[in-house]
Amino acid sequence: MSRSSLMATDVVAAAVDAQRADLETFALDLHAHPETAFEERRSAGRLVTALRHAGFDVTAPVADLETAFVARRRFGPGGPRVALIAEYDALPGLGHACGHNLISAAALGAARALASTLDAGAGELLVIGTPAEEGGGGKILMLRAGVFDGVDAALMFHPGARTMTVRGALAATRATMRFFGKAAHAAAAPHLGINALDACIQTFNAVNALRQHVRDETRIHGVITHGGDAPNVTPAYAEAKFIIRHRSHVYVDELKERVYAAARGAAASVGATVEFEEGLAYAERKINRTLAARFEAHLEAQGEPVVEPLAVGGVGSSDFGNLSQALPAIHPYVAMVPEGTSAHTPEFAAAAASSAGMRALHLAATALALTAADLFRDPDVLAAAAAEFRGDAA
């Protein structure tokens, strides 16, 4: 029997617990210095320094992304390759209103606990730093660059309003619409103008009409980012940004074509034209119940009850969806705000530096470390997670 197979759960948990004060300091430091998508130089740098100090071999940057990194710690030849995922981007104007400072601290805590206790046996532990979850699709770009090739399982946690291990996320596509018309004096020569703003407004009306005839749990939401420059000039240019979401990326693709058709029709109705620029497509999250059950058991052993996700609604989108389509992965939630409090709000940002946030951080760091330890210790866990991922009949 290898030493890793003798590793007791309480040794790993104790190694997380020993870092309690340090992890809180780390999380609060990131919280006090929020950095938005692809600008997370200080945050990523602090993680890289801490991981190097803990004996990890760090490659940074990776995938041509300045704030992306891969930290590796090999325990022995062969064995599974397990990745802890760290997010660290904040939101413009709101700071850490998605609590990614806690995600980073939990990944660091779990990684150091495993590095100090799992010193024999086989396998490799990775910490993968993924920038720009908030709209930049860092994980999608890293997947394309092959950063996750050869990784057997990926684990992260997210703070939230309910402690849940199997909540999904919607597929989402972003589109920028650019409407082109013709400027004219709005009073002296309106008959010579083509109103790009009207094309844009008609698009919103057409999309609103479409809502009646789409599948349940569709979300289509947009803003006008340019509506003209002066009221006495017919707007020659207008711009809107939309996000289209549903449980299935196949249906999102279908919806996207219908939204584009609505915009083309709206533009044509006033004599304008429209062009589309498409953002990265976020895939829906693929649940891995095998891994989620391990995480859940380790939360409940700490006295944290796990609840089911809401039957309808309460769901956003993340580039973690794309990762979960590529390999067995989990994105569980640990509660730190009262039910009904949403992420991306000042209340959520405050919670990410509160005692409730720190509690979620410790629960999650411990459960992450123990779930990864299960994967290193028991080949059956990874085999079951992989079989579930492939869709093999049980």
What's the CA gap between 378 and 385, in Å, rounded? 12
* Residue 24 identity (one-letter amino acid): E
Taking the least distance from each CB to Zn ion, the nearer of 98 and 214 is 98
Q: What minimum distance in Å lies between the beta carbon of 254 and Zn ion?
A: 26
State in angstroms the smallest separation of the CB of 344 from Zn ion.
6
> What's the rounded Cα separation, in Å, for the pair 351 and 307?
20
Binding residues for Zn ion, how many (CB under 5 A)? 1
Task: Give 330's contacts (C-beta < 8 A, 6+ positions apart).
Answer: 154, 155, 156, 165, 288, 291, 292, 295, 371
For the CB of residue 319, give the shortest distance to Zn ion in the complex, in Å.
10
CB nearer to Zn ion: give 85 or 382: 85
Number of CB atoms found within 10 A of residue 40's CB: 28
Which residue number has the CB closest to Zn ion?
Answer: 98
- Inter-residue contact 323 to 149 (CB < 8 Å): no
Q: How far is the CB of 115 from Zn ion (least distance, A)?
A: 26
Amino acid, single-letter form, for residue 237:
Y
Q: Which is nearer to Zn ion, 98 or 367 (CB)?
A: 98
CA nearest to 375, candidates 365, 366, 363, 384? 384
Residue 282's nearest CA partner among 254, 320, 312, 253 is 320
Assess contact for 35 and 90: CB atoms under 8 A: yes
What is the Cα–Cα distance from 239 to 203, expressed in whole angstroms?
11
Binding-residue pattern over the window 351 to 390 for Zn ion, x denoting contact by CB under 5 A: ----------------------------------------
Nearer to Zn ion, 160 or 193 (CB): 160
Residue 134 Cβ vs Zn ion, minimum distance, rounded to whole Å: 5
Nearer to Zn ion (CB atom), residue 98 or residue 259? 98
Q: For Zn ion, what does the binding mask look like between residues 158 and 197, x meaning CB under 5 A?
A: ----------------------------------------
Min separation Cβ 316 and Zn ion, Å:
7
For residue 254, CA distances in Å to 22, 147, 175, 250, 334 come to: 48, 30, 14, 7, 34
Buried b (16+ CB within 10 A) or exposed e, 108-146: bbbbbbbbbbbeebebbbbbbbbbbbbbbbbbbbbbeee
Distance in angstroms (rounded) separating the CA atoms of residues 342 and 97: 9
Binding mask 80-109 for Zn ion (x = CB under 5 A): ------------------x-----------
User: Rounded to the nearest whole angstrom, what is the least distance from the CB of residue 89 to Zn ion in the complex?
Assistant: 8
In whole angstroms, what is the distance from residue 46 CA to residue 104 CA? 10
CB of 141 to Zn ion, least distance (A): 17
Least distance (Å) between residue 337 CB and Zn ion: 13
Q: 85 vs 98, which CB is nearer to Zn ion?
A: 98
- Contact call for residues 280 and 174 (beta carbons, < 8 A): yes
Give 27 or 197: the residue with its C-beta nearer to Zn ion: 27
Choose between 96 and 247: whose C-beta lies nearer to Zn ion: 96
Q: Give me the sign of the Cα torsion angle 96, 100, 104, 110.
A: positive
**Toward Zn ion, which CB reaches closer, 146 or 346?**
346
Binding site for Zn ion (CB under 5 A): 98
